[in-house]
Structure 1
Amino acid sequence: MTMTEWACRYLMGLGQTWHIEDGGPDPALRDLFRDPARSLPDLWGLHTGEDAYWLIEAKGGNVRKNSLDEGWHQLKEGSKILHSYQHRLILCGASVQRQGDLFLTIDHERHSGKPPSAAHRESSSRPQSVGVSEDYIGNSDDALMGAARTQMLVYLAMRSAPRQRVRAVGVSADRSTHRARFGGLTTPLERVGSTQEMRRAARARTENEDARRALSRSMGLDDFLSYRIPGTELRLGMSRSLFAACAQLHREDALIAERTPGLRAEDQRVADEPADEDLQEERRRRERHLFRDQQEELRTRVALRVRNAYEQGAERTWRELLANGQEPALDLEEHPGLLESATSETYLAVRQEDLPYEDR
């Protein structure tokens, strides 16, 4: 699955992916995508460049022709449900050989139909199909919930990071300066002059960190928490508002999981017990459906709590938001060779020397 995500999202430009068993892209087709009698692919996503839905099946391990044929059959079953929409079928097979070689195969097939963007204009009940969900957080609870869930792994990584490895970076509090534009999903901060100017001004006025923190806020700088993800060259981050929203959503999901039989570790089958893999998978599928049903049933109440956390987060300090109760170091310095970018609520940085030579 990791190789499939890498290939589809980072090589071919697909956006966020979702498990198809949660209902697929169209609420009207939800019951068909959740039918346990159907053998369907793993994931779906929206490719905004193609204006087409993608149905994706991942096969791993000792991949052979029979497993790939099975994957293609699953994709065709999904295509029967999504036939009225423009969509593409993607089959990825990843295999590691005994000598350590890794190979990846990708088969694809495009199907014509109604573009998702046209369907979105016709019905407000469909998922947001254009732009970055963060750009719509201010007036859409669906966008806020989507952004919080998309950033959940980043939130969990930062929440558990050693204190000395996280820092707060100054980013313009004017969200309109780093909405999706310049032909990409993020805005390079070197193109947002206000951020660099305010950083320089705050550095020049005082060397005391607490004074800098108060001054930078009064000048219009927000402080995004950032953390270099271990094993990668990326430093990722997010605003206080989004961090608070992620924390609230995580708490709500944990409460639902506690009430869902089978999801707790003590409910899992002991490894040395004999088991029928098909029955185990069917049981796990039922448990996941029950969990998703509970999420959907409580969605309105949870969305209100997440919204409140998001709005209150802007007024809270990192000391209040972080479990260790300590304020992270504020970084307003210039770092030659560091390429920074931001969206409305997130931050990404990478050193130029860490990029592939052709991308520098």
Structure 2
Amino acid sequence: MIEAISAARAQMLAYLALRSAPTAQLRTVPVAADRGSRRRRSGLTTPLEDDTLTLTMRADARAAAADTDHHAVRAGIRALGLDDFLSCRIPGTEVHLGMSRKLFAACERLHEEDLAIARRTPGLRAEDQPPVDLELSDEAQEEQRLTQRRIFREQQEEARPRLRPRLRDAYEHGAARDWSALLRRPQEPELDLRDDESLLEAATPETYVAVSRYGLPAAHA
């Protein structure tokens, strides 16, 4: 089982990118729910073009989609043994990042806690910065900023024992929440069942990454 705080902290930038992306730019991609069955080439990361289980279940989902409506397909992919990971293309790149509901829910809770700590740390947030004191040297102002960040980090560490069960609870219950509820938006992101051969995909138990094969540098002889 993952340590929810560490996993959420490591993926916070990806979470914020997904959280801020317009719904039209978001999609969910099906990945085999049985993490332990994936063929791993290196560490926890599985290239999905080598993951026969995911490819087979995706084909089954596409076949089911031809005979039913979109909402029924979304409800039925779990019965096929698939999770749908939230994903979006990072603007200005050919990189798609994504994550599971569980990890997204843990990141959401940690972000809320970080914001609460920031509000309790005077002057840390940009909107709370006092007017520049022209009598202070650049070095003194930098020292103030470093002190504020140190206080923030210390409060984060002090909060770990209290946050650990809360993030574990968010992680465990995240799988049962719809993406519309996690994103706090009325619409579900589009479920992407295309057989897109232009993407090279990989997944860990809770994260997803894809790049366009056409955006990669040419192989050298």
TM-score w.r.t. structure 1 length? 0.58
| Cα shift at 1:184 | 5.4
CA distance in 1, matches of 2:37, 2:206: 12
Q: Which runs of 4+ in 1 moved over 6 A?
A: none
- The structure 1 residue matched to 2:55, chosen from 192, 196, 217, is 196
Specify the alignment match of 1:155 in structure 2. 15
8 Å CA contact 1:159, 1:323 repeated in 2: no
Q: In the TM superposition, what is the alpha-carbon distance from 1:270 to its structure 2 partner?
A: 3.4
Q: Distance in 2 between matches of 1:266 and 1:349?
A: 36
The answer as to whether partners of 2:25 and 2:88 remain within 8 angstroms in 1 is yes
Quote how far apart the aligned CAs of 1:238 are.
0.2
RCO higher in 1 or 2 (8 Å CA, sep ≥ 6)?
2
Please report how far the alpha carbon of residue 185 of structure 1 lies from its aligned counterpart in structure 2 after TM superposition: 5.4
Provide the aligned length of Structure 1 versus Structure 2: 218
Contact 2:44 2:205 in 1 (8 A): no
CA RMSD, 1 decimal: 1.8
Residues 254 and 145 (structure 1), Cα distance of their counterparts in 2 relative to 1, 3 Å cut: same
Residue number in structure 1 paired with 2:178: 317
One-letter code aligned to 2:10: T
Higher Cα radius of gyration: 1
Distance 1:156 1:341 in 2: 20
CA distance in 2, matches of 1:310, 1:325: 22
Task: Name the counterpart of 2:83.
Answer: 222
Residue 276 in structure 1 maps to residue 137 in structure 2:
yes
Match of 1:186 in 2: 45
Structure 2 unaligned spans of 5+:
none
Contiguous gaps of at least 5 residues in structure 1: 1-135, 138-142
Work out whether residues 38 and 53 of structure 2, in 8 Å CA contact, stay in contact via their aligned partners in 1: no
> In the alignment, is the contact (CA less than 8 A) between 2:45 and 2:204 conserved in 1?
yes
Q: Distance in 2 between matches of 1:188 and 1:285?
A: 41
Q: CA deviation at 1:337?
A: 2.2
Cα contact 2:98–2:209 (8 A) shared by 1? yes
Residue of structure 2 aligned with 1:296, choices 157, 175, 183: 157
Distance 1:306 1:270 in 2: 37
**8 A Cα contact 1:261 1:267, kept in partner:** yes
Give 1:205 shift: 2.0
Q: Deviations over 1:86-134 (max 9, x none)?
A: xxxxxxxxxxxxxxxxxxxxxxxxxxxxxxxxxxxxxxxxxxxxxxxxx
1:144 aligned residue? 4
